[in-house]
Every structure is written in structure tokens, then in C-alpha cells.
Amino acid sequence: MFVLLRAVGLFVLTAVADVMGSYLPYLWLRQGKSPLLLVPAAASLAAFAWLLTLHPTGASRTYAAYGGVYITVALVWLWAVEGERPSAWDIAGALVALAGMAIIVLAPRR
């Protein structure tokens, strides 16, 4: 159980680093915020790449499974940071993506 909780936590941290690293340049480019936001954005994307290396399975499988968590975290970010509540369709899509992620992560391995 601890291994599963650690993996979920690691996936969430990875997704937050990815979303933040993409969101900060968006603020600069689309909303006219300070270009200094690129500094924490670059650090966040570097952390994202490093966090991917901490996952116990191969990089490609990890990245495929990570997609489901990324979608969910992006929708939580939409609500918490941007103030826009996800629709029922957003939530349904995230649940489908998480189901796909669970199939990839929990599949029996040799």
C-alpha cells in the first residue's frame, strides 16, 4: 500500500511541476506578466524532468501512465488557480484518463 501511495504522490508532484512550468510562461505571453516568471518556470520544468526519473518503471510507461494524473491535476489547477470550475465532461474525461492510468500502473509485470 505504501508503494502505491508513494507512486500516486510522485505522479501528483510531477504533474504540478509540469503544469506550473507551462502556466508561468502562459502568464507572461498571454497576460502580459513579468518575463521574470520564466525563471521559476524553467526551474519547475527541470524539477518535472528530474521527478520523472524517480518513478520505478521505465520512462515510456511512466510517461504514459502520468498522462492520466496530469489531466486531473490540470483540471484541479483550472479550478484552484484560474477560478474556473471544471464541467461534468471535464470530470468524466479525467476519470477515464485515471482509469487508463490505473490499468497501465497496476498491470501485472514479470
* H-only helix segments in the chain: 2-31, 38-53, 59-80, 88-106
In angstroms, the CA 48 to CA 20 distance is: 10
pLDDT at 104: 83
Would you say how long the chain is, in residues? 110
In angstroms, the CA 105 to CA 78 distance is: 26
pLDDT at 76: 96
Q: Which residue shows C-alpha cell 500500500?
A: 1
Q: Which structural domain, as residue segments, surrounds residue 75?
A: 2-106
Q: How many CB atoms lie within 10 A of CB 57?
A: 14
Q: Which three cell numbers stand for residue 87?
A: 464541467
pLDDT at 65: 81
pLDDT at 52: 85
**Count of the separate structural domains present in the chain:** 1
Where the chain has pLDDT below 50, the residues are none
pLDDT at 80: 97
Rounded to a whole number of angstroms, the distance between the first and last alpha carbons of the chain is: 19
